[in-house]
Amino acid sequence: MRFRDRKEAGEQLAARLAAYRDMPDVLVLALPRGGVPVGLEIADALHAPLDLLLVRKLGVPGQEEYAMGAIALGDVVVWNKEALAMIPLPQSVKEKVVARERQELERRNALYRDGRPMPDVAGKTAIIVDDGLATGSTMRAAIQALRAQAPEKIVVAVPVGPPSVYEDVGEADEVICPYTPSGFMSVGGAYMKFPQLTDAEVNQLLSLKRKRSA
C-alpha cells in the first residue's frame, strides 16, 4: 500500500474519521509542514476548522533525521530514551539543540500565525494530524502540549507508522493509522510523491482553508 500524495492520504484518513463530521466541538490541528495538506483534506471533509500545532523534532547532531526528542510551545520537551541510549550525548549538546529548535519554533509561530491567536481547545475534540509517524517523539510532544490546554478528547490521525504506533502515542485517547507495514522504514517510503513543503506553501494552504470557511 502506498499513497499517491498527502492529499490522497488525507482523503483516506477523513473517511476513517467520518464519525466526527459536522460535530461543532471538533478542531483539526496539523503539524507543519507535512501535516498541513493532510489536515486540509480532513478538515474540509469533516466541516471542521483547521489550525496548527507547532512542534519541532530534536535531531541528533550529524544525524538530524534521527529524532532524539521533540519540543512544543509552552516549554514542552520530550526525549526519545531509546535514541539517547544508543547515542549518549552530553547535556550541553542537547541544550544547544533545544535552543536552536526553539528559535525555529518561535519563527514559525510568528510566520504562520501572523498575529492570529492560538486556537482554544478547552473542552473540544482535537484531532492531531501529521503525514506519518516515525519514532513518535514529535507526536508525544504535541499531545503533552495539548493536554495542558484541557481538551475533552485527543485523537491522533496519521496515514502511516510502524506497527508500534498505537503504543508509541498511547497518551492519545484515540489513534487512527490505516497503514502500519511490518517492514516500516520511513514515512516518505509510503508515498509516491513526497516533496518537502515550504513555509509559503503552508501559508497558502491555511489561507485556502480560511477562504473556504468564510
Q: CATH number, domain at 188?
A: 3.40.50.2020
pLDDT tens digits for range 62-117: 988 788 988 888 788 888 888 889 888 999 999 999 999 999 999 999 999 888 88
The rounded percent of the chain whose pLDDT value lies above 70 is 100
Give the mean model confidence (pLDDT) for residues 31-40: 96
pLDDT band, residue 12 (cuts 50/70/90): very high
pLDDT of 122 strictly over 90: yes
Q: Is residue 131 part of a domain?
A: yes
Chain CA centroid to CA 195, Å: 17
Q: Report the pLDDT value the prediction gives residue 96, as an integer from 0 to 100.
A: 95
Instruction: Decide if pLDDT at 214 tops 80.
Output: no
Q: Would you say residue 26 lies in a domain?
A: yes
Strand partners, 175: 156
Distance of CA 116 to the CA centre of its chain: 20
Question: What pLDDT band is residue 161 in, cutting at 50, 70 and 90?
Answer: very high
Q: Cell 471542521 maps to which residue?
A: 48
Residue 85 domain flag: no
Q: Does any domain span residue 72?
A: no
- Dist. CA 64–CA 83, nearest whole Å: 12
What confidence score (pLDDT) does residue 131 get? 97
pLDDT at 159 over 80: yes
Four-residue CA torsion sign, 64, 137, 203, 175: positive
Q: Would 65 be classed as within a structural domain?
A: no
- Which residue has better confidence, 99 or 57? 99
146: which residues sit within 8 A by CB, 6+ positions away? 29, 53, 121, 126, 128, 154
What are the angstrom distances between the C-alpha of 72 and each of 14, 16, 142? 25, 27, 6
Our count of domains for the chain comes to 1
Mean pLDDT value of segment 38-48:
97
Mutual angle of helices 35-46 and 199-213, in 10-degree steps:
10
Q: Is residue 71 part of a domain?
A: no
Nearest by Cα to 124 from 20, 23, 26, 30: 26
100 lies in a domain? no
Mean confidence (pLDDT) of the chain: 93
Residue located via cell numbers 483534506: 41
Please, which pLDDT band fits residue 180 given cuts at 50, 70 and 90?
Answer: very high
Confirm whether 99 is domain-assigned. no
Domain range enclosing 19: 6-56+113-213
Q: How many CB atoms neighbour CB 128 within 10 A?
A: 27
At 40 the pLDDT is: 97
Within 13 A of 66's CA, how many CA atoms are on the CB side? 10
SS3 assignment, position 173: coil
Q: Examine the pLDDT at 118 and tell me if it is beyond 90.
A: no
What's the one-letter identity of residue 176? I
